[in-house]
Chains A and B, each alone.
Chain A
């Protein structure tokens, strides 16, 4: 489905397209690939879902979205998919994941809300809980405090580059 050249290309463009009139040509020059090949590969990777979106990646915090809450629920297994799909529809939800429960961590459904302040986020969460009818589920809200590291260097062994997913 994708080859070593695709990996190389993704590893490269993941750092950001150059801000010059012909960015794909510039990327191609670095990788010894024609501009047309760069465009064809990126188009295909996007169709294949390996590129989820391509565009301007904003920094929420810098733009005034200072309250970042991770909300976790303990959801019965049979409801989790429908509920996850429902939650991901809310415009203020920026991520929605299922992760396994652990002995000391009873939660299995996660979502993120980025808002301008805590009050707004908590009001949005209340609306979400009410609309989905899940106020009774065991849950907790974890607001972020300090950010120690947002994005690191890419981990890239020589034979198999690994790509970080983007920052939110």
Chain B
């Protein structure tokens, strides 16, 4: 897990010069607290008591994980389309134009999760807007700005019940 990563200037890796030494506490926090985070006044203390460590140790371990980009945050996952409207967008961009077009799209605040994928449709991102009219305006504006067509694939149904992700991490 801590082996040096292949360097690719455009991925979201951090340099590993200051790699974090993963401890058993880190592992437990990563794997066991992805859901049912305590809704009580001292949640970190509750976790600490569960793990037999101090509250300070939990806070400091979470802060390490966050600083080293192993976690994005401690917080809620909110289902799509509950508060606003979203859609998944695909575009087919000539490879030599992809970086430029991707950058234009990433610059928009409505855009999340902008990925290159291996397909003729090689650019995929999520758009989130306040309502259907706004969403369509953003789609039209992307078509116009980039000169390529957006393919909008809004959610029809969601089957997955998100219980977090079993990381299968070695217990060191």
Contact = CB atoms under 8 A, between A and B. Distances in A.
B51 interface: no
A96 B158 contact: yes
Interface in B54-99: 55, 59, 62-63, 65-66, 68-80, 82-84, 86, 88, 90
B78 A58 contact: no
Contacts of A102: 151, 153
A17 B115 contact: no
B40, B63, B78, B111 — most chain A CB neighbours (10 Å): B78
A97 B158 contact: yes
A58 B30 contact: yes
Interface of B: 1, 8, 10-14, 29-30, 33-37, 39-45, 55, 59, 62-63, 65-66, 68-80, 82-84, 86, 88, 90, 102-103, 105-106, 108-119, 121, 124-126, 128-130, 151, 153-167, 169
26 contacts: A13-B76, A17-B75, A19-B66, A22-B41, A23-B43, A42-B76, A51-B76, A53-B35, A53-B77, A55-B37, A57-B34, A60-B165, A62-B69, A64-B1, A94-B165, A97-B155, A102-B153, A143-B118, A146-B116, A148-B10, A151-B113, A157-B130, A160-B130, A162-B84, A163-B83, A165-B79
